[in-house]
């Protein structure tokens, strides 16, 4: 993992490194997703908000609209969505916005720490699907749009393998290791084209997902998602080129500043 870059080398004249770009944020209703959506809009992007809870998306919509271009709202439950649903999403983006310059995938499902022997099989499968399979289907559907741009970014938020590879992390831990494999495989396929693939490790964040594994008094290192959101903007902008095929560690940079 590497510390994330300053976006100063890619800052537009008005200080917005994502100016005129269209960015899809999957999992926009979550802690990291919502913060990243707002940061991307503030950086000039038109943001497509993808999530499963319309009320939560409405709140994020208002926050995004207050700081940047008007976003596009697209409620969709990744657990039940089919490849055809993702194809419809890509068609809607192309029809409504005419382009897609970047995609940030923050969607994940983690039911909590559970011994494997006692885990509900359906919950295990749900964690693998929402965290790995569904994002892969989404990326597959959006790749034709991304390829049309001269510089496009496909970014997956990932967890720390040394942590989620330990006991009790279940389907979520398995999916996180799979995500890193997906990043490596896609990078190898797309390395000579216009689509950059990278991972973003946000570090320990104060989110609802993390609260299922750690109580507040056990988690003194957790911080708000704002710093990681700025790292996401860096990866989605032209400043993310050095991290092509790599995982950017927002936590390491925060500790070094």
Adjacent-strand bridge partners of 212:
none
Distance, CA of 24 to CA of 47 (rounded, Å): 6
E strands along 95-233, which residues?
A: 102-105, 152-157, 195-201
Contact assessment for residue 153 and residue 101, using Cβ atoms and an 8 Å cutoff: yes
Rg (CA), the chain: 17
Which position among 61, 86, 172, 201 bears the catalytic label? 172
Other CB atoms within a 10 A radius of the CB of residue 144 amount to 12
Active site residue 172: yes
User: In the 3-class helix/strand/coil scheme, how is 13-45 assigned residue by residue?
Assistant: CCCCCCCCCEEEEECCCCHHHHHHHHHHHHCCC
Distance, CA of 47 to CA of 161 (rounded, Å): 29
Instruction: List active site positions.
Output: 172
């Amino acid at each position: 993992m590497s510390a994330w870059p300053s976006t100063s080398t890619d800052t537009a004249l008005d200080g917005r490194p994502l100016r005129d770009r269209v960015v899809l944020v999957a999992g926009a209703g979550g802690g990291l997703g919502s913060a990243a959506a707002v940061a991307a809009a503030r950086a000039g992007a038109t943001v497509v908000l993808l999530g499963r809870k319309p009320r939560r998306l409405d709140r994020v919509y208002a926050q995004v609209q207050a700081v940047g271009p008007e976003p596009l709202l697209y409620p969709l439950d990744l657990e039940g969505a089919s490849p055809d649903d993702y194809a419809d999403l890509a068609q809607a983006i192309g029809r409504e916005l005419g382009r897609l310059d970047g995609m940030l995938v923050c969607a994940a499902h983690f039911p909590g720490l559970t011994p494997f022997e006692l885990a509900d099989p359906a919950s295990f499968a749900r964690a693998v699907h929402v965290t790995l399979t569904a994002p892969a289907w989404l990326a597959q559907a959006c790749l034709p749009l991304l390829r049309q741009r001269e510089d496009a970014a496909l970014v997956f938020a990932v967890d720390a393998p040394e942590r989620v590879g330990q006991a009790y992390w279940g389907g979520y831990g398995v999916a996180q290791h799979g995500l890193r494999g997906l990043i490596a495989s896609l990078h190898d396929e797309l390395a000579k084209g216009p689509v950059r693939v990278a991972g973003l490790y946000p570090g320990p964040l104060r989110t609802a997902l993390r609260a299922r594994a750690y109580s507040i008094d056990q988690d003194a290192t957790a911080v708000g998602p704002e710093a990681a959101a700025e790292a996401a903007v860096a990866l989605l902008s032209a400043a993310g080129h050095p991290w092509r095929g790599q995982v950017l560690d927002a936590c390491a940079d925060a500790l070094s500043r």
